[in-house]
């Protein structure tokens, strides 16, 4: 059975072979991944007129289905033969949508890996890789381009026989072009005195062609915003930074040497000259000058040719490579054969406490790479894309492209075009910036690598950090993962590298000397590892101290159970926090208060029948949001959600607050806290305070957020209260107090990463304090003073936290000691959901037999939130010590179409959230 026939059965879309119009099959053939989520690539023959212009990575139009309706897709490969219906009819590629190669070789390989690894149709992956503004050519103008349609000699012959002077003038001018060259119609007309009828005549005679081509030079002509003056000098690194930098340097160099020797890269010209097609390498290829046709152009150098000196300096380079290969060793999951090695590839964890100057290390590494003529990608969480971060990059480099969510479609397209032609030295952006098509990428930095927002929650459900690692491997370049609180997955892979060095985890001298109870020593494999032989997979670098000798902020705990015992009424601010807030305000310093929950109160409760008001469509409680104008003293944004109603944070349903319990008719009360309730208390206790609440309700877009941070920087706001939005990346020297209103909000979540999240959030927000010359204080309010996570957070003891958490994760076989796949199924009708879940579970179980007992399957069972927006939800969770078996099981079920219902079945590989 042929590939296409299978597709027909699966999707009822593709016409069966016998009904196709009989056409002779002529190679070559193109495999095309369609944009609509068909989980196969389809073969099409390439008509002669397109043979020379069609390339891998182009967007094309092809006929689909019985009615041959035109569909769009990407050319994935070009082969001389096809295994589809040999000798039978096959449809033809209709047209090239965009002459540009939208997906270059490295990105194509990355996309193919993502398609396999994240169990997503390749077309859907490519939808994420290519911004839709690029696809839709937003903002592009068109220019009429004239080319000779015949060989020069033939035209020369015709010219000699032609009398008509205008025609002669045009032909003579065109013969002056270099072979294969072209000229804008306007210019040709001007220079040869041609008129439209003459041009039409020449087209009719088959001597010239006129095509409307996109005017790329005009698109990026007046680009201001990719600014950066590069004027600011580098800061002199301190001892710790220098040490980390020195360790990185050979790896940066290894990559650039390797890169210049191997890994063929398509380098587009910096500034395409007007009038010539701006597709650089394609134009060359057309003239037979480049690396030739599609097939060869895509093959990587089969000879890895690792540099011997490099090997000596980096003895564990092979270990890194092999371990990655082993990680992805499922069938078809490892796109790299071992022989296709990546000698410049290295993964480097930079664990630096908050305020230790990690960014300066990134900047100077990038400087090395840029000086070698290559480019860099810096991934940051979207919320960290503040003017502060942006300025640090634009001040150092001449050409920086900032990809943030507020860009217009035209700007997005412009940036993409600039980036793809090598005009941007550095790309800074959130998750999807990992796909920036830099022609000669030299380094990737993932800042705050532990951030859950790097994971996309729609298909393809990829993790930006992991895709970045894969890209670095494919491009043979180093990657730096930076964090003060690395994910345990990353830390564990780097931990082997530090066993035996006590400095690693005892790194915060101020804290450790002050607090004898903090754990000393390193995370030795004997403590947590069952696989003591496992080599370190990542390099470990650390910045254990803050810059300029600044001390870590002092964290103190307030036990809210004790607090409430001695006070009347409800107080969300403890006496201690209130006192410190007052002295901070009086001494003209600033404070940040964290409460990671928006709204006023997160449940509405009936004391007599214990009924809690739930969303009608979701298995969650409704959150009460206060009415606008109730507290005019607040500096909150006027456009905020102020409704005096109940909101569902999952399906966004809004209901009035009932006056009585819907079940028993008695009075209901508001329980639980949210930012609005703290705001209310602050406005009562500090009526004249210059204050702002910062959460998803007051901040509608990145503009709001920028404006707010500007006001905070200028001191127009003295205290900010917010959700995790304010916990990250902010560097304001006047902030001396940080208050964590409730350290417990995330601890109770039914997710094995609850403790990790809690520790990270507290540490990150605590790190905002004391970045200037005045020491910082942190007040951590909690109802769980003895909880080990809270205790570790008080000590700011990442290593101690990680050790304890790793021990318990290993006991129960959770990541990083296992790989996990979560499949969520949903349906509006419960019986249908049950049936679908059981069927899928059976298929998975069948496929699992081949893997022996390697895989543990839990479920189907209801998700922690068992209904969202009217859909019942079930989950199946599979874990295994390595990724291979999971990948093979998924591939087997996918092959048979068992995962095709993408609107009902979501496969989440390496999930970061289990709700």
Residue 117: which of 473, 466, 494, 481 has the closest Cα?
Answer: 466
Among 5, 210, 235, 670, binds ligand ADP (CB under 6 A): 235
Which DSSP letter does residue 130 get?
Answer: S
Span of 357-365, 427-435, 640-648, 839-847 interacting with ligand ADP by CB under 6 A? 357-365
Q: Out of Zn ion, ligand ADP, none, which partner does residue 548 contact, by CB within 5 to 8 A per kind?
A: ligand ADP
Query: Closest Cα partner for 464 from 473, 454, 475?
Result: 454
Cβ distance 691 to 683 under 8 Å? yes
State phi, psi for 758 to the nearest 5 degrees: -60, -50
What are the beta bridge partners of residue 782?
A: 559
CB 398 within 8 A of CB 229: yes
Q: In the complex with Zn ion, which residue's Cβ is closer, 655 or 808?
A: 655
Distance, CA of 788 to CA of 800 (rounded, Å): 10
Q: Which stretch, 111-119, 358-366, 551-559, 794-802, contacts ligand ADP (CB under 6 A)? A: 358-366
Instruction: Choose between 601 and 789: whose C-beta lies nearer to Zn ion.
Output: 601
Q: Which of 241, 333, 742, 764 contacts ligand ADP by CB under 6 A? A: 241
Closest separation in Å from C-beta 357 to ligand ADP: 3
Q: How far apart are CA 102 and CA 216, in angstroms?
A: 14
Contacts of 93 (CB under 8 A, 6+ apart): 30, 32, 44, 45, 46, 47, 50, 54, 60, 61, 62
Q: Does 352 bind ligand ADP (CB under 6 A)?
A: yes
What distance in Å separates the CA atoms of residue 603 and residue 612, rounded to the nearest whole number? 7
Q: How many CB atoms lie within 10 A of CB 699?
A: 24
Q: Residue 237 or 891: which CB sits closer to ligand ADP?
A: 237
Which partner, Zn ion, ligand ADP, none, binds residue 618 by CB below 5 to 8 Å per kind? Zn ion
Provide the edge-to-edge strand list for the sheet that holds 208-214.
183-184, 142-148, 208-214
Cβ count near 341 (within 10 Å): 22
Q: Which CB, 223 or 235, lies closer to ligand ADP?
A: 235
* Binding residues for Zn ion (CB under 5 A): 615, 617-618, 648, 650-651, 653
Report the residue from 360, 368, 695, 827 that binds ligand ADP according to the rule CB under 6 A.
360
Minimum CB separation of residue 237 from ligand ADP in Å reads 5
Rounded CA separation 573/562 (Å)? 13
Among 444, 477, 523, 547, the residue binding ligand ADP under the rule CB under 6 A is: 547
Residue 701: CB minimum distance to Zn ion, A: 23
Does residue number 359 form part of the binding site for ligand ADP (CB under 6 A)?
yes
914 contact choice in Zn ion, ligand ADP, none (CB below 5 to 8 Å, kind-dependent): none
357 binds, among ligand ADP, Zn ion, none (CB under 5 to 8 A by kind): ligand ADP
Of 104, 355, 442, 885, the one binding ligand ADP by CB under 6 A: 355
671 phi/psi in degrees, rounded to 5? -125, 165
The contact mask relative to ligand ADP for 395-434 (x = CB under 6 A, - = no) is ----------------------------------------
Q: How far is CA 371 from CA 345, 365, 564, in A?
A: 19, 10, 60
Q: What are the residues whose beta carbons fall under 8 Å from the beta carbon of 516, sequence distance 6 or more?
A: none
Is residue 827 within the footprint of ligand ADP (CB under 6 A)?
no
Q: Is 665 left (phi over 0), alpha (psi -120 to 50) or beta?
A: left
Q: Shortest approach of ligand ADP to residue 242 CB, angstroms? A: 9
Q: Which of 172, 237, 325, 749 is in the footprint of ligand ADP by CB under 6 A?
A: 237
Q: Coil, helix or strand for 3?
A: helix
Pick out residues in 491-530 that bind ligand ADP (CB under 6 A): none
Residue closer to ligand ADP (CB basis): 190 or 733: 733
Least distance from Zn ion to the Cβ atom of residue 617, Å: 4
874 lies in the binding site for ligand ADP (CB under 6 A): no
* Contact criterion met (CB below 8 Å) for 170 and 152: no
- With CB under 5 to 8 Å by kind, the binding choice for 352 among Zn ion, ligand ADP, none is ligand ADP
468-487 mask for ligand ADP (x: CB under 6 A)? --------------------
CB of residue 650 vs Zn ion: minimum separation in angstroms? 5
Residue 392 near residue 230, CB atoms below 8 Å: no
**Partner from Zn ion, ligand ADP, none contacting 51, C-beta within 5 to 8 A by type:** none
Closest CB to Zn ion among residues 693, 867:
867
Q: Tell me the number of residues near ligand ADP by CB under 6 A.
A: 15
**3-class DSSP string for 72-99:** EEEEEEEECCCCCCCCCCCCECCEEEEC
Distances (CA, A) of 335 to 117, 240, 341: 10, 38, 11
From the list 52, 313, 548, 567, which residue makes contact with ligand ADP (rule: CB under 6 A)?
548
> What x/- string results for residues 731 through 770 when contact with ligand ADP is judged by CB under 6 A?
x---------------------------------------
Residues 652-681 that bind ligand ADP (CB under 6 A): none
Task: Single out the residue of 116, 135, 251, 358 in contact with ligand ADP (rule: CB under 6 A).
Answer: 358
Name the burial class of residue 178, with classes exposed (0-12), middle (13-18) and buried (19+) by CB atoms within 10 angstroms of its CB. Answer: exposed
Closest CA to 188 of 205, 217, 167: 167
- Residues found in the chain: 915
* Chain contacts with ligand ADP (rule: CB under 6 A): 235, 237-238, 241, 352, 354-360, 547-548, 731
């Amino acid at each position: 059975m042929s590939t296409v026939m299978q597709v027909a059965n699966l999707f009822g879309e593709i016409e069966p072979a016998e009904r196709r119009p009989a056409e002779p099959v002529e190679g070559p053939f193109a495999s095309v991944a369609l944009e609509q989520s068909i989980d196969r690539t389809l073969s099409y023959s390439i008509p002669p007129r397109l043979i020379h212009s069609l390339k891998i990575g182009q967007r094309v139009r092809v006929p689909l289905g019985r009615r041959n309706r035109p569909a769009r897709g990407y050319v994935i490969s070009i082969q001389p033969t096809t295994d589809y219906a040999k000798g039978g009819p096959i449809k033809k590629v209709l047209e090239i949508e965009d002459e540009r190669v939208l997906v270059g070789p490295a990105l194509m390989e990355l996309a193919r890996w993502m398609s396999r690894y994240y169990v997503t149709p390749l077309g859907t992956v490519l939808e994420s890789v290519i911004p839709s503004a690029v696809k839709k050519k937003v903002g592009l103008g068109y220019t009429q381009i004239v080319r000779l349609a015949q060989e020069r000699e033939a035209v020369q012959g015709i010219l000699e026989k032609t009398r008509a002077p205008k025609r002669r003038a045009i032909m003579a001018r065109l013969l002056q072009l270099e072979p294969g060259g072209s000229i804008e119609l306007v210019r040709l007309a001007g220079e040869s005195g041609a008129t439209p009828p003459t041009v039409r005549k020449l087209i009719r005679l088959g001597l010239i062609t006129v095509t409307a081509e996109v005017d790329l030079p005009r698109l990026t002509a007046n680009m201001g915003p990719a600014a950066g003056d590069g004027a600011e000098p580098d800061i002199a690194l301190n001892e710790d930074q220098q040490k980390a930098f020195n360790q990185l340097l050979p790896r940066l160099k290894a990559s650039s040497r390797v890169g210049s020797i191997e890994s063929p890269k398509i380098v587009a010209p910096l500034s395409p000259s007007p009038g010539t097609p701006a597709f650089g390498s394609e134009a060359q290829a057309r003239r037979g000058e480049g690396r030739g046709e599609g097939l060869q152009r895509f093959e990587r150098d089969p000879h890895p040719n690792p540099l011997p000196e490099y090997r000596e300096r980096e003895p564990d380079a092979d270990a890194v490579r092999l371990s990655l290969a082993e990680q992805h060793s499922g069938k078809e999951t490892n796109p790299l054969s071992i022989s296709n090695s990546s000698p410049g590839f290295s993964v480097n964890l930079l664990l630096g406490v908050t305020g230790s100057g990690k960014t300066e290390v990134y900047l100077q590494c990038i400087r090395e790479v840029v000086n070698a003529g290559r480019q860099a990608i810096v991934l940051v969480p979207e919320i960290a894309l503040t003017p502060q971060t942006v300025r640090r990059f634009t001040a150092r480099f001449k050409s920086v492209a900032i990809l943030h969510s507020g860009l217009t479609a035209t700007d997005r397209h412009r940036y993409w075009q600039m980036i793809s032609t090598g005009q941007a030295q550095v790309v800074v952006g959130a998750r999807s910036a990992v796909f920036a098509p830099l022609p000669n990428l030299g380094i990737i930095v993932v800042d705050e690598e532990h951030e859950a927002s790097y994971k996309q929650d729609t298909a393809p459900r990829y993790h930006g950090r992991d895709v970045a690692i894969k890209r670095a491997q494919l491009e043979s370049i180093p990657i730096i993962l930076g964090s003060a609180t690395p994910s345990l997955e990353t830390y564990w892979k780097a931990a082997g590298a530090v066993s035996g060095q006590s400095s690693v985890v005892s790194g915060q001298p101020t804290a450790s000397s002050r607090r004898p109870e903090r754990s000393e020593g390193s995370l030795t494999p004997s403590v947590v590892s069952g696989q003591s032989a496992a080599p370190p997979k990542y390099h470990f670098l650390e910045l254990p101290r803050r810059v300029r000798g600044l001390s870590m902020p002092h964290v103190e705990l307030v036990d809210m159970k004790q607090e409430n015992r001695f006070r009347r009424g409800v107080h969300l601010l403890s006496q201690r926090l209130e006192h410190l807030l007052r002295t901070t305000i009086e001494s003209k310093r600033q404070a940040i208060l964290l409460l990671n929950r928006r709204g006023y109160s997160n449940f509405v409760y009936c004391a007599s029948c214990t009924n809690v008001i739930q969303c009608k469509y979701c298995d969650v409680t409704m959150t009460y949001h206060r009415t606008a104008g109730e507290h005019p003293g607040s500096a909150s944004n006027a456009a905020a959600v102020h409704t005096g109603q109940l909101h569902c944070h999952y399906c966004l349903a809004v209901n009035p607050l009932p006056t009585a319990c819907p079940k028993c008719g008695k009075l209901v009360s508001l329980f639980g806290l949210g930012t609005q309730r703290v705001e209310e208390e602050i406005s009562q206790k500090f009526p004249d305070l210059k204050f702002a609440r910062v959460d998803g309700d007051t901040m509608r877009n990145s503009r709001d957020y920028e404006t707010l941070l500007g006001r905070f920087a200028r001191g127009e706001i003295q205290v900010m209260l917010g959700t995790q939005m304010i916990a990250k990346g902010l560097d304001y020297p006047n902030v001396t107090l940080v208050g964590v209103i409730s350290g417990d909000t995330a601890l109770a979540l039914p997710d094995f990463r609850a403790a990790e999240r809690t520790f990270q959030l507290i540490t990150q927000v605590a790190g905002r304090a004391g970045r200037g010359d005045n020491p910082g204080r942190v007040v951590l309010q909690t109802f769980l003073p003895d909880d080990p996570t809270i205790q570790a957070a008080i000590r700011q003891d990442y290593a101690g936290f990680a050790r304890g958490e790793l021990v318990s994760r290993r006991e129960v076989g959770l990541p990083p000691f296992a790989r996990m796949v979560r499949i969520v199924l949903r349906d509006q009708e419960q019986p249908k959901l049950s049936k679908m879940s059981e069927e899928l579970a059976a298929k998975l179980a069948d496929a699992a037999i081949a893997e022996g007992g390697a895989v543990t399957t839990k479920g189907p069972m209801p998700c922690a939130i068992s209904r969202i927006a009217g859909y019942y939800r079930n989950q199946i969770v599979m874990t295994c010590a390595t990724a291979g078996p999971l990948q093979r099981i998924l591939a087997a079920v996918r092959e048979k179409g068992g995962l095709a219902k993408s609107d009902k079945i979501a496969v989440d590989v390496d999930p970061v959230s289990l709700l």
